[in-house]
Homo-oligomer: A and B are copies of this chain.
Amino acid sequence: MDGSEAPSSAPTRRVLAAAADLRAAPVGVFDSGIGGLTVLRELRAALASERFTYLGDTARLPYGTKSPATVARYAVQAADALVEYGVKCIVVACNTACALGLEAIRERVAPVPVIGVIEPGARAASGATRSGHIAVIATEGTVRGGAYQEAIHRLRPDARVTAVATQLFVALAEEGLSEGPVAESVIRHCLAPLYTAAPPAPDTLVLGCTHFPVLATPIRNVVGAQVRIVDSAATTAHVVRTELTAAGLVREEGAGGVRFLATDGAERFARVGSRFLGASIAPEEVELIDL
């Protein structure tokens, strides 16, 4: 993490030269919408005194079915906005944006550190599997981008990775159909390709979309107790804490807090987002911005 280097090449307004100022600055979290609130939930649990600025690009969601060039362009615009808000690092809490835009974001906002959700998930999965067969479920864009497959193979070249696009899970999570027999029947249907492939069946399942932790219970019921489920929200929060600690940038004292920014629909952001964050958000807490 290089956020404490001289920011001579950094954009205007980011003049956080002293480490103390940097420590006090918020952590930026960005997602295409509300899914990243599952990552924010874990970040708040891991870094209780930290302040967060969460940006959901709700006017342009979903990223999961958009073309790679468009996703990368949107992601860079969102990262730019967070830098303008003076964040000390950026967590890209959207798998699709990571899969298709992480390098472009890093290039754009350097030297601000950028942490994605894919690398931590890939690392956890590579460490967890015994059979060597890892399943990844994600949006269409993430699966097609191949970033999880590549990240896992960099860490464990002999691993077999089966990636399945489960776009319907996003709708299940957003519509609150996140438990019970109906949710399980959809999940069973969508996960069938994992079990019709040649054995052995995958022993590790990566939730490669930040919406999916909301469905952890029915997914567990479908895949059974023997499968290790890797939640990229939790693993990413762990990595952010480790990296901020190593750089001496953790805010140690004071009450934490969140500033919510969205590009459309404060009411829906608050209503649906509260389920993802696991804490109530009031519509008037959500500031609308343009990207």
With A67-B264, A264-B66, A268-B65 as contacts: A189 and B177 at CB distance below 8 Å: yes
Residue numbers in B under 8 Å from A62 (CB-CB): 62
Residues of chain A having any CB pair with chain B under 8 Å: 58-60, 62, 65-67, 70, 140, 167-168, 170-172, 174-175, 177, 181-182, 185-186, 188-189, 264-265, 267-268
CB-nearest residue of chain B to A268: B65
With A59-B66, A65-B268, A70-B59 as contacts: A175 and B185 at CB distance below 8 Å: no
The count of identical subunits is: 2
Q: A65-B268, A168-B175 are in contact. List 4 more A-B contacts (CB 8 A).
A: A67-B265, A70-B264, A168-B177, A185-B185
Provide the bound-state CA to CA distance between A267 and B182, in Å: 31
With A168-B175, A171-B168, A174-B167 as contacts: A265 and B65 at CB distance below 8 Å: yes
With A182-B185, A185-B181, A265-B66 as contacts: A170 and B168 at CB distance below 8 Å: no
A-B residue pairs, 10 tightest by C-beta = A171-B171, A182-B189, A67-B265, A185-B185, A168-B175, A168-B171, A182-B185, A70-B264, A67-B264, A167-B175
A-B contact pairs, 23 of them (CB 8 A): A58-B66, A59-B60, A59-B66, A59-B70, A62-B62, A65-B265, A65-B268, A66-B264, A66-B265, A67-B267, A70-B265, A167-B171, A167-B174, A168-B171, A168-B172, A170-B171, A171-B171, A177-B186, A177-B189, A182-B185, A182-B189, A185-B186, A186-B186
